[in-house]
Chain A
């Protein structure tokens, strides 16, 4: 039986450029027929809070300001497209949520579930894992 190729993207950094690169590769992979799991942890998680996105509190280097200026659809838009048009699933890390005292409803609605590392390993079994 042929299995759908799987990709797991682990986002750890709050840098807009890194979030954007990971989201871009994940969404294109999902729209190309791969099953994609995006796992958001550590500093990256804050950038998936509704208030941070609403207030555009992005952390940028060189390319990020131009992504914003040229109104390129950003990481959360790309992930949303991957969910809508492909088989992409977005998860938040339970540890970072607990340590920060954040609730799931403070994160964007595209976050499917808050999961621990064992659940992530279960999902990512046999997948290519990309850590950014």
Chain B
């Protein structure tokens, strides 16, 4: 996974669903095309919900990695 360059990291740990997704959507609005955004979420609902949203919204899901007590979820802005 180390070959994926992260353009921006959002630390949304401590917020509940849909907090991490809301933060991601806010960031995606202004991010340049093809940039990779990594969201940190301690909320397990968001860990399953964000990938579904990303696929449905036409962006590219890069990975979701479970760390100790939180997830790192990476998305590439595709449109």
Contacts and interface: CB of A to CB of B under 8 A. Distances in A.
B56 A81 contact: no
A28 B29 contact: no
B16 A28 contact: no
Interface string B19-63: 101100110010000000000000000000000010011000000
B73 to A, nearest CB: 16
A28 B56 CA distance: 13
A73 B29 contact: no
B53 A32 contact: yes
B21 A28 contact: yes
Given A70-B16, A72-B16, A81 B53 contact: no
Contacts of A78: 18
Interface in A66-98: 70, 72-73, 78, 81, 85
A31 B28 CA distance: 11
Interface of B: 15-19, 21-22, 25-26, 29, 53, 56-57
19 contacts: A24-B17, A27-B18, A28-B18, A28-B21, A28-B22, A31-B21, A31-B22, A31-B25, A32-B53, A32-B56, A32-B57, A33-B57, A72-B15, A72-B16, A72-B19, A81-B22, A85-B22, A85-B25, A85-B26
Interface of A: 24, 27-28, 31-33, 70, 72-73, 78, 81, 85
